[in-house]
Chains A and B, each alone.
Chain A
Amino acid sequence: MEIDPFIFRLSIFVLSIFIGYFVVWSVTPSLHTPLMSVTNAISSVIIVGAIVASLAGGNNSNFEISNIFGFFAIFLAAINIFGGFLVTQRMLQMYKKKKKK
């Protein structure tokens, strides 16, 4: 019997949780704020769903309501992607080591 692809995705999901667990414990506490803003930025990869929603099936003359929802989701995710990565970069620029005398 063939294995349902869902099981593969579930495997990826479970293993990623473990990766996340170990990677995040190794993050230094002083960078916890950038950690939050960068996780926020990468979770906006949900934009891929929004793009599919807004483009697919839209070859008719009018947009479906599902397309409109997609556009709006793109807008929101874009704010997050740009805002999240840029503000993280801005914060990380500020972390400096002591100047050697």
Chain B
Amino acid sequence: MSPNLAAFLYLISGVLFILALRGLSSPETSRQGNLFGILGMIIAIIVTFLIVESFSKGFIYVLIFLSIGGIIGSIIAYKISMTAMPQLVAGFHSLVGLAAVLVATSAFLAPNVFNLGTVGNIKTASLIEMSLGGSIGAITFSGSVIAFLKLQGIMSGSPIVFRGQHMLNGLIGISIVVSIIYLCISQIPQLFWILILISFLVGFLLIIPIGGADMPVVISMLNSYSGWAAAGIGFTLENTALIITGALVGSSGAILSYIMCKGMNRSFFNVILGGFGATDDTAKNIEKRPVKSGNAEDAAFLMKNASSVIIVPGYGMAVAQAQHVLREMVDSLKKNGIKVSYAIHPVAGRMPGHMNVLLAEANVPYDEVFELENINNDFANTDVAFVIGANDVTNPVAKTDPQSPIYGMPILDVEKCKSVLFVKRSLSPGYAGIDNELFYRDNTLMLFADAKKMTENIIKNLD
């Protein structure tokens, strides 16, 4: 195949990838968009085979590895539960990162194959590109592995901090830059290995101080990194499809990180430089104040006599796997002629859009689910807010107390409802380590129980 035709077909697959993302602007077009993405991938792979034109014994191995990987990937895709999406995505990011490292390494070891020069005399531009691709890939890999371990619960979700952490990260960051420069000047192969090694280390060190609830930012950030790594490799291989994709994924992840940071009213650096829980001790001086607590019967009574209810789901719902019973509860409320909608905070859950997927899994129609800005004005005209597994995102302190760590964070105006039902295991503060003012309000009724059990009991009392 002529290089020009190949480049043109790569361009087409790049365009198909753009269309794949474009499709996600609405759920109706999204499935078609995904098919465009698959088509783009098939084109890119076939074109590559035709360029290499080497159907020797290596080709059989390629097909074998492709199929084994494909089978494993398919099994994972079908088996995975929707609650585990954050760790799945983190895991997948780590694979892209490692693949980038492997391709960069391969290009470094056999530059002649990729038309990049000869061993020990690689074109400087290519060397910079593959070093960047490999280094970012390595950071993506080790960072994603840590994110995966934290999300899966294998590693504690609490931030791990130590003295001089930022200094160490800074030093390693500088040494990455220095070793890339020195590698280009001297072409000493050992420097490449050192570069990859310290990149693995910095990815690891970057993610360990970040706490569980900041994971939406971390996952988005790693998403972005995996894109930049792919783009770096794309420049090395002079491949348009990879460059386009890398740029798309890189900017997509960056935008998601921005949206997540805005949802918490924190700067990106604030999140990256270490979690809330690590610096904050306010959790310890919680005063004992009286709260009203109730049982499933009270909750059912309140909701039965309401004309409108808004459900506010949070990570606790995901942990308790309560989305299905929640939908059943909503069904029986609707049977009683009560208007029900769902309100979702941008950072609810452990990744962007996490709650939406869980509700969709439980057959909640997506046009009953609203984002913060579209529903916040409705709370004032609503009888009951049913908060299940959410906490900080409803805390009115974010508006009133400039001293509070979450001050300025956009919150769901649950407090404006006539009455608030809070399903929670205990009075313990949320992730930000601050007391929720809402617990002590007169119109709040605390329902102390596991989210799933409580919802089941409410259903019994509704009938």
Contacts and interface: CB of A to CB of B under 8 A. Distances in A.
A56 B70 CA distance: 22
Nearest to B22: A23
A81 B73 contact: yes
Given A19-B248, A30-B371, A57-B112, A84 B62 contact: no
B96 A44 contact: yes
User: On chain B, which size bracket covers the interface?
Assistant: 35 or more
B18 A23 contact: yes
Contact of B356 (A31, A51, A98): A31
B113 A33 contact: no
Describe A's contact surface by its main secondary structure: helix
Given A12-B243, A77-B96, A55 B41 contact: no
Interface residues of A, number: 85
Contacts, number: 386
A29 B243 contact: no
B252 A35 contact: yes
B88 interface: yes
Given A24-B255, A30-B353, A76 B49 contact: no
Describe B's contact surface by its main secondary structure: helix
Contacts of A71: 61-62, 65
A91 B238 contact: no
A27 B76 CA distance: 26
Contacts of A85: 34, 37-38, 41, 77
Nearest to B15: A19
A41 B41 contact: yes
Contacts of A48: 10, 44-45, 47-48, 237, 239, 241-242
Contacts of A46: 96, 99-100, 103, 229-230, 233, 242
A14 B70 CA distance: 32
A24 B54 contact: no
Given A51-B49, A58-B58, A78 B70 contact: yes
Nearest to A58: B58
Contacts of A57: 110, 112-113
Interface in B236-259: 236-253, 255-256, 259
B121 interface: no
Interface string A57-101: 111000111110111111111111111111111111111111100
B58 A94 contact: no
Contact of B34 (A67, A75, A82, A89): A89
Contact of A34 (B13, B105, B235, B353): B353
Nearest to A72: B102
Nearest to B255: A24
B351 interface: yes
A87 B106 contact: no
A31 B27 contact: yes
A75 B68 contact: yes
Contacts of B41: 41-42, 44-45, 81, 85
A98 B71 CA distance: 35
A73 B405 CA distance: 43
Q: When A and B form their complex, which 8 residue pairs have the shortest distance between CB atoms, in order from nearest?
A: A78-B69, A32-B353, A83-B73, A82-B73, A16-B247, A20-B251, A86-B77, A32-B352
Given A43-B249, A46-B230, A48-B242, 11 more contacts: A5-B238, A13-B235, A18-B251, A20-B249, A32-B353, A48-B48, A56-B54, A69-B105, A78-B66, A79-B69, A86-B74
23 contacts: A12-B244, A19-B247, A20-B248, A23-B248, A28-B25, A32-B259, A33-B354, A36-B253, A42-B248, A45-B241, A46-B229, A49-B107, A54-B65, A58-B56, A67-B106, A76-B96, A77-B69, A83-B73, A86-B73, A88-B34, A93-B31, A94-B357, A98-B367
Interface of A: 5-6, 9, 12-14, 16-21, 23-59, 63-67, 69-99
